Structure formats: C-alpha cells, structure tokens
Amino acid sequence: MTEPTEPELIPASDACALLGISPATLYAYVSRGQLSSRPGPDPRSRVYLRAEVERLAQRKRAGRGAERGAAQSLDRGLPVLETRISLIRPDAPYYRGRSAVAAARAGATLEDIARLLWECEEQDPFAVPPPPAWPERVAALALDTALPPLERTMACIPLLALEQRQSLNAAAPVRREVAATLLRQNAALLVGVQPDARPVHRLLADAWRPGDAGFAGLVRSALVLCADHELNVSAFAARVVASTGAHLHATVSAGLAALSGPRHGGATARAHALLLDAEASGA
C-alpha cells in the first residue's frame, strides 16, 4: 500500500499565471469559495492547491468561445469581474485603493464613501437641496411603519421614479445627484420617516436610538464598511439592470429584490430571530 502524497501547493504568482488573471481577481475567487488558500512560507503569503487551480482553469477554458465576453464575466454562474471599485482583503475592504477600516476610524460617512466610489472629484452631489416630502401617492406607504422595512422600500421606489424628471439623463453629474437623492430616500424608507439632509447614519440612528451618539457612530462605521462588497448577489443584480440603461430607481429595485432572498440579506432576519429565541429561552 502506497503512502498518500502531499498535495502540490503553488504560490499566488503561479496560480495567477495558470488562470490568466490578476492577484485581485485571485483574491476574489478565494473570497467566493471557488478556490481555497493556505498560509505560505512567510506570514504575508498564501499558497494554493495546484489541482484546484487547474480544475478552475479548465472550466474557464471550456466556457470560452462565441460567448467569450460573457464567459469571462461569469464562471459557472458566479460573477467574477475585474473591478477598480472595491477589493476585499483579510485586513479590510478597500474602496478605489483606500482602506475602508481607516476611513471609518477617521470619521468618514457613507456620503464620503459614495463621493469616492462615484468619482465625484469637485462635485458634491449631496450639496443639492434635500429630497422633498413624500408625494401623496407614496406617503401612505412610506410612513406606514407597520410594513416590513424592505417591503416598504421596494413598494415605494418604483413610484418615486415617476417623480424623477432626470431619471434617464446619462450625464454623470446629473446621475450622481439623482443617486444622492435616492440614497437619502432609500434610508428614510427603511425607517419610515420623511427624507431630509441629515447624513444617512444620523437619520437611521435617530430613528432607532434618538440621542445616542455612540450608537450613531457604530451605524456610521457599519455603513462605511458595507458600502461596497465587490460582486455579491444584490450588487451584481443591480449592475446587470444598470447595464441595460435602466434608470437608477429600477437598478436599486433590482438590488433590493435580490437582497430580500433568505440566502442573502434575508439571512439577517433569520439570524436576528435565532438570537431572539435564544434570549427568550435564557440560553
């Protein structure tokens, strides 16, 4: 009986060469569970199973052909794209090369991160007047706190699109201003209040724990750290819809619909219910 041999491990540079990808994309494969990695010979390096890398490379080659562009974007149904927007590393998410953890520690708000992600440069889309009060056709739903937050938001955003005259304007400055207004409206819908010019973290914290500055800081940090997460399901769904030229309200609606699934954002509600059950049972 022969002794089992140790699996061959290769460094990141060899894995990238076999797959024809950049290190950033290699990390994306690992973060989505398509590849596994192990600590390398020094604390800052990682190594990969050659057999696993070669299987993935074979699947990538099989997917190429007439639909080469789509195959490079999707690998067996999982989105893997080069992106300059975000990178998930063990120490922190990075937004356009900047550490989200460092930004949160420095007091950045969600609006600051939006300006970075949207490449606003000198433009401040949040300097426009705050969103007006909810239109009559939306108000009854928007302020109904008996409705679940996500369902309330998904019901109202398509109606708000009817009030947005610039919804299909392709000019980047206009789209940023529409996005800024939509971000504020989305936050207000989630907690069932009127939209205003407060930073999003403050609007949410004031609805959940009025006057608690420490809690508001936690909400701010959480929003910064979750502002973008490469191509998770909801982000990918939103980007697919945006690629059709659909307006931003339709894009957000698609992302929220994907978020509602029990294997994505809906898992939060399940985890919360589990914690409530544990608390009630005294566990």
Over residues 10-21, the pLDDT tens digits come to 999 999 999 989
Q: What confidence score (pLDDT) does residue 164 get?
A: 86
Asked if 125 and 258 sit in the same domain, the reply is: yes
Asked if 132 and 253 sit in the same domain, the reply is: yes
State mean pLDDT over 89-117: 94
Q: Is the pLDDT of residue 145 over 50?
A: yes
Rounded Cα–Cα distance for residues 11 and 237 (Å) = 33
Cα distances from 269 to residues 232, 238, 259, in angstroms, run 18, 22, 11
Tokens matching residue 180: 């800024």
What are the residues whose beta carbons fall under 8 Å from the beta carbon of 49, sequence distance 6 or more? Answer: 7, 8, 9, 10, 35, 36
- Kindly report the backbone phi and psi dihedral angles of residue 276, in degrees, each rounded to the nearest multiple of 5, phi listed first: -65, -40
Q: What confidence score (pLDDT) does residue 63 get?
A: 54
Asked if 124 and 198 sit in the same domain, the reply is: yes
* Secondary structure of residue 5 in the 3-state scheme: coil
Q: Is the pLDDT of residue 70 over 70?
A: no
Q: Which range marks the domain in which residue 266 is found?
A: 104-281
Asked if 143 and 17 sit in the same domain, the reply is: no
Q: Is the pLDDT of residue 75 over 80?
A: no
Q: Is residue 243 part of a domain?
A: yes
State mean pLDDT over 114-119: 96
Are the beta carbons of 103 and 112 closer than 8 angstroms? yes
pLDDT band at 71 (very low <50, low <70, confident <90, very high): very low
Asked if 188 and 261 sit in the same domain, the reply is: yes
Identify the residue with better confidence: 230 or 175. 175
Identify which of 146, 176, 181, 147 has the alpha carbon closest to the alpha carbon of residue 161. 181
Asked if 180 and 61 sit in the same domain, the reply is: no
Q: Is residue 1 part of a domain?
A: no
Q: Is residue 98 part of a domain?
A: no
pTM to 2 decimal places: 0.71
Q: Is the pLDDT of residue 65 over 50?
A: no
Asked if 46 and 166 sit in the same domain, the reply is: no
Q: Is residue 92 part of a domain?
A: no
Q: Is residue 222 part of a domain?
A: yes
Asked if 195 and 71 sit in the same domain, the reply is: no
Q: What confidence score (pLDDT) does residue 80 get?
A: 59
Q: Is the pLDDT of residue 67 over 50?
A: no
pLDDT band at 77 (very low <50, low <70, confident <90, very high): low
Asked if 255 and 151 sit in the same domain, the reply is: yes
Q: Is residue 261 part of a domain?
A: yes
pLDDT band at 179 (very low <50, low <70, confident <90, very high): very high
Asked if 122 and 246 sit in the same domain, the reply is: yes
Asked if 137 and 249 sit in the same domain, the reply is: yes
State mean pLDDT over 180-189: 96
pLDDT band at 79 (very low <50, low <70, confident <90, very high): low
Q: What type of residue is 148? A: P
